[in-house]
Amino acid sequence: MTTINFLSNTLIMILDSFLILLPLVFLALGGYFLSMFYPLSEDTLARIVTDFFMPVLIFYSIYTTDINLAKTMKLFGAVSFVIVFLFFLSLLYCRLFKLDFKAFSPPILFMNAGFIGIPLMKLWGGFSAMNYIVIYDQMQNLYIFTLGIIIVTGGFTLSGIREMIKSPLLWALVAGILFKNTGIPLSDGLIEALGYCGAGAPALAIFAMGCSLRKRRIIVDIHLLSGLILRFVFGFLAGLAATALLNITGMERVVILVASSMPSAVFSVVLPLRYGINPRFAGSLILASSILSVFIIPVIFYLSSL
């Protein structure tokens, strides 16, 4: 009877997690199918999200969050551990199989904690969980626009530094931390307006991702399978190790474990494209991991609750 109850509770928890994902599935499918009938520009949608809606949401979330400095530093430590752990695993894999590290590593290191993670956590845990993953995602973005550019360019370059400086996401993060920690006051009306604008970011992000998925094709080989294992399994294990080492518990632990197990970030194909590197592997891994995440994320939620 105990075994039956355990299996029943497990199935219920996985089903509940899947139901949390349903609104995101509908939004992604809406973007996918509408892009078949209308000339929707993936680049334009991505720029609208990343250059306006996401920066507004980032600033608003950081400015209004109740996450203190100690928790923020622990979160930064967790993000850093996950990325460094996956960096060395990817490097080892590329050395063993003589692969191009510039093309292989970005979709392993960087996860879609923003486009999928933010709306997912809002549905799961409300604004508290959403604010936490927003900060997780922006700490990851610091690595995308520093370590990511270093990887794909082979070192520090003038163009790489220019891209970092131009990013509205980076400036929104800096401004949010500055306004939050220096006590610079903002009017209630302005805060409400920022919250209203930022609220559109999660839905539009998922819709844009749905549009982008239709334009990509999966190229299946052994390295794609390895990439999926590195992204999902070792991403989860890295998050698990980070939360244990930093003694992170409760809602924050669940957010870190789920975020670390997200599918590959869209930026992991944008960066190689921008710097003349073949994005075939990154594109295949983004598409495959995004599709599989519908089934894997509920399992991650269950494992995170153990």
Q: Whole domain around residue 122: which residue ranges?
A: 21-304
Phi, psi of 111 (to 5 degrees): -110, 160
pLDDT tens digit string along 90-147?
999 999 999 999 889 999 999 988 778 888 888 788 888 888 888 898 788 778 777 8
For residue 5, is it within any domain?
A: no
Q: Is the dihedral of CA 122, 124, 125, 129 positive or negative?
A: negative
For residue 11, is it within any domain?
A: no
Find out whether 215 and 39 touch, Cβ atoms under 8 Å: no
CATH number, domain at 200? 1.20.1530.20
For residue 3, is it within any domain?
A: no
For residue 14, is it within any domain?
A: no
For residue 2, is it within any domain?
A: no
Rg of the chain (C-alpha set): 19
For residue 82, is it within any domain?
A: yes
1 has a pLDDT exceeding 60: no
pTM of the model: 0.76
For residue 34, is it within any domain?
A: yes
- Picking from 266, 265, 249, the residue whose alpha carbon sits closest to that of residue 257 is 249
pLDDT tens digit string along 204-225?
877 877 787 777 667 788 999 9
For residue 127, is it within any domain?
A: yes
Q: Domains in the chain: how many in total?
A: 1
Greatest extent of the chain over all pairs of C-alpha atoms, in Å: 65
